[in-house]
Structure 1
Amino acid sequence: MRGLWGASHPGPTLVVSALALALGLAVSLEAWRLVLLTLAVFAGQLSVGISNDAFDAVRDHAVGRRDKPIARGDIRVGQASSAAFTALAAALLLSAPLGWRMLALHALVLGSAWSYNAGLKATSASIVPFLLSFGAFPSLATLSAPDPAVAAGWAWIAGAAFGAAVHLTNVLPDLDDDARTGIRGLPHRLGGRVSATMAAIAVVGGAVAVLLGPTDGDISTIPPLSWIFFTGVVAVAVVTVIRALVRPPGRILFRLVMGAALLLAAQLVASGSALAA
């Protein structure tokens, strides 16, 4: 169990599950709907993380990834694959009571994520699953409500921006290892500096969408909290771009962009009931 948990990418799994919980609270879901939404997303993220390590087992072993339980020999590929499919089935079963719309969208989100793991990560289209899965993510909460509705267009833009930032910077610490094993996704083709800069621009674009989207053009209605989150996103993004231009790309860029992306997520959650408008 410890090996499977390590293979699930615990950090991202918990962050995305917490984001689902926060979005569910923002749209005022009933307690049982909120619990099912959070558990469904958690199970889905377990399936995505574990399947990623199962698909990458040969490559991880080739480059000596001692941080990977499968490459380290703690669990076998077959065990990981079985656990990933079990978690996937659980995610869909938990989604079903929330309605067929939520079930269908969650299946699409997870199918998109699994397609990245299965091979899209090595192509120039590697960013597409992140745009689709995270763009649709706010709608998992709004479709879980008694009166299901797809999230507003600006929420899709913000989610897609979050996903783009995650993808463009998540691979920065592993560029060399990926190159040795034939992985050449979009960030690898763009290079570290360009990827980090594009990620920073993406989160600012998402922050603008969340800031202005619910206002119907009336800027005076923007609450102070939204301005605070927006200012934080822009500030961290500016630091990221400057750092990318003057220093070699590294893990610090990943941390900076993730900080900006989490501020964007908080800004999205703070928009509350406007998500379903």
Structure 2
Amino acid sequence: MKYRKPRGQTISLVLAAHPVSAAAMTAVVTLAAGLSGRPALECLLVAATVLSGQVTVGWLDDVLDRHRDKQAGRLDRPVALGWVDPGTVTFAIAVVVLLLVPLSVANGTYAGVAHLTAVGSVWLYHLWLKRTALSWLPYAVSFGLLPAFLSYGGLGGGMHGSPPTIAMTVLAALLGIGVHFLTVLPDLVQDKETGVRHLPLRIALRTGAPKLLLVSVIWTALVSAGIVTAALTVGLGQ
């Protein structure tokens, strides 16, 4: 493995959380909350909730994949590089989960259950389904629950809002599948070498990566356009 100068524990923990993807996901969901008419305080709660969940997902990924990342010579994975101990990252996950549960429930009971289930679904992806042909399923479930998290959301525990529209739920799930394909495509070579046989790799071996990338981009763009159209017509909640 090539050498990179070690970072401090705090910086290493931040980098291990996949900060770019965590921030992007947080920004998108928070923006959606704002566009749906939620007040500023509730949007801040949404941001804190989503960011907490995304941080645990990034950390879990780095801990579970540390041996594969080391084998592949990844220079962007602090745990594989030895900058931070896996036990430290695991402890950090436990600490943030203690915040994640009350933060999720603070959005409302149904919203909290939807968000915790969405996070748990992505955990399941990293724990097991990432290596199978069902790798798309956790992304579909996780993204498909986001409209429920937003439509049922409100400030404080209890029941708020209304069920999400079927159109928004289905489109969000389809968007999750597209995001899954786009995020794993850059690592196809590493995944093939380390035995991670997720669905995108299985398809790419038959069609070729460039063609799959094109289809994935078109799929994601069309679904995103569908979400915007649905938001302007049927709306988020029933």
Which bin holds the TM-score, normalised by the shorter protein?
0.7 to 0.9
Per the alignment, residue 154 of structure 2 pairs with: 145
1:205 positional shift:
4.3
1:134 positional shift:
0.8
Provide the rounded CA distance (Å) in 2 between the counterparts of 1:60 and 1:81.
17
Distance 1:272 1:61, change over 3 A: farther
- Maintained 8 Å contact 1:165/1:199: yes
2:183 to 156, 166, 170: 170
1:194 positional shift:
4.6
Deviations 1:205-263 (A, max 9, x none): 424533553xxxxxxxxxxxxxxxxxxxxxxxxxxxxxxxxxxxxxxxxxxxxxxxxxx
- Maintained 8 Å contact 1:23/1:138: no
Distance 1:36 1:208, change over 3 A: closer
CA RMSD of aligned residues (A): 2.0
Deviations 1:143-165 (A, max 9, x none): 11374222212211221222111
Residue 156 (1) aligns with residue 177 (2): no
2:104 to 81, 86, 95: 95
Q: Normalising to structure 1: TM-score of the pair?
A: 0.74
Per the alignment, residue 189 of structure 1 pairs with: 202
- Maintained 8 Å contact 2:191/2:197: yes
Residue 109 (1) aligns with residue 126 (2): no
1:124 positional shift:
0.2
Per the alignment, residue 235 of structure 2 pairs with: 274
Identity %: 27
Distance 1:208 1:19, change over 3 A: closer
1:9-48 mapped onto 2 (5 Å cutoff): 9-48=18-57
Deviates more, 1:125-134 or 1:164-173: 164-173
Provide the rounded CA distance (Å) in 2 between the counterparts of 1:46 and 1:109.
13
- Maintained 8 Å contact 2:129/2:135: yes
- How many pairs were matched up? 221
- Maintained 8 Å contact 1:161/1:205: no
2:134 to 112, 125, 129: 125
- Maintained 8 Å contact 1:92/1:106: no
1:86 positional shift:
2.0
2:223 to 186, 206, 209: 206
* Unmatched segments (≥5 aa) in structure 2: 1-9
| Bigger proportion of residues as helix | 1
- Maintained 8 Å contact 1:164/1:202: no
Provide the rounded CA distance (Å) in 2 between the counterparts of 1:106 and 1:211.
22
Distance 1:24 1:125, change over 3 A: same
- Maintained 8 Å contact 2:172/2:227: no
Provide the rounded CA distance (Å) in 1 between the counterparts of 2:43 and 2:225.
28
* Unmatched segments (≥5 aa) in structure 1: 214-267
Secondary structure (helix, strand or coil) at the match of 1:275 reads coil
Per the alignment, residue 69 of structure 2 pairs with: 60
1:62-77 mapped onto 2 (5 Å cutoff): 62-77=71-86
Distance 1:164 1:95, change over 3 A: same
Deviations 1:9-68 (A, max 9, x none): 111100110012111111222333222111010000000111111110111111211111
- Maintained 8 Å contact 2:143/2:176: yes
Q: Normalising to structure 2: TM-score of the pair?
A: 0.85
Per the alignment, residue 261 of structure 1 pairs with: none
